Amino acid sequence: MLIIAVAYLAYHLPGADSPTAQEEMPFHPELSAGGMNDAMNALANLPEDFETLVPMGNTFMDQGSFAVAAEIYKRALAINDVPDVRVDYGACLNAMGLPLRAIQEFQHARSSDPNHAIACFNLGIVYFSQQQQDSARTYFNKYLELDPTGQAAEATREYLKEIGS
């Protein structure tokens, strides 16, 4: 989940050479590439267990279907409020053009886990995209404090250079 959020927010490059969630989970006919109608049908028939919902959300997020993934994550969070899933939900909201809602979700994840490094990184990304450099700097530095060699450390240092820190 965290890899997906970081991959989208920091390295959103079409055709990246990373395995997709579908390669990691069994095939679900409702997840086949059939467009928005199939996605809406999948939402109408979602399973009700957290362990199935989260990988489905990951798959839709990997496919760039952020609204569908957000709805799936929202349903999973109603069952079990896990900070990692909340961060993925926030990443979807940001990708949908809802940065203020994304910030709320990342902050909610941090209230549950103050040391959630990826939530800090994603807060930095959103604030950076909103041209709020002081806030972006704060959260990028917090990320590096929490996970100095983490998967987003290099990107974080690049953002900090761009901000002028």
Q: What is the pTM of this model?
A: 0.77
- The rounded distance, in Å, linking the Cα atoms of 164 and 150 is 21
Residue 145 lies in a domain: no
Residue 164 lies in a domain: no
Residue 130 lies in a domain: no
In the predicted structure, residue 87 carries a pLDDT above the cut 60:
yes
In the predicted structure, residue 164 carries a pLDDT above the cut 50:
yes
Percent of the chain with pLDDT over 90: 70
Positive or negative, the CA dihedral 121, 71, 53, 48 is positive
Average pLDDT over the chain, rounded to an integer: 83
Residue 42 lies in a domain: yes
Count other C-beta atoms under 10 Å from residue 133's C-beta. Answer: 17
Residue 92 lies in a domain: yes
Residue 132: its pLDDT value, please?
A: 97
Residue 38: its pLDDT value, please?
A: 66
Residue 141 lies in a domain: no
Residue 131 lies in a domain: no
Which CATH number characterizes residue 9's domain? 1.25.40.10
Using pLDDT thresholds of 50, 70 and 90, give the confidence band for residue 5.
very low
User: Number of structural domains, the chain?
Assistant: 1
End-to-end CA distance of the chain: 29
**Residues of the domain holding 15:** 2-116
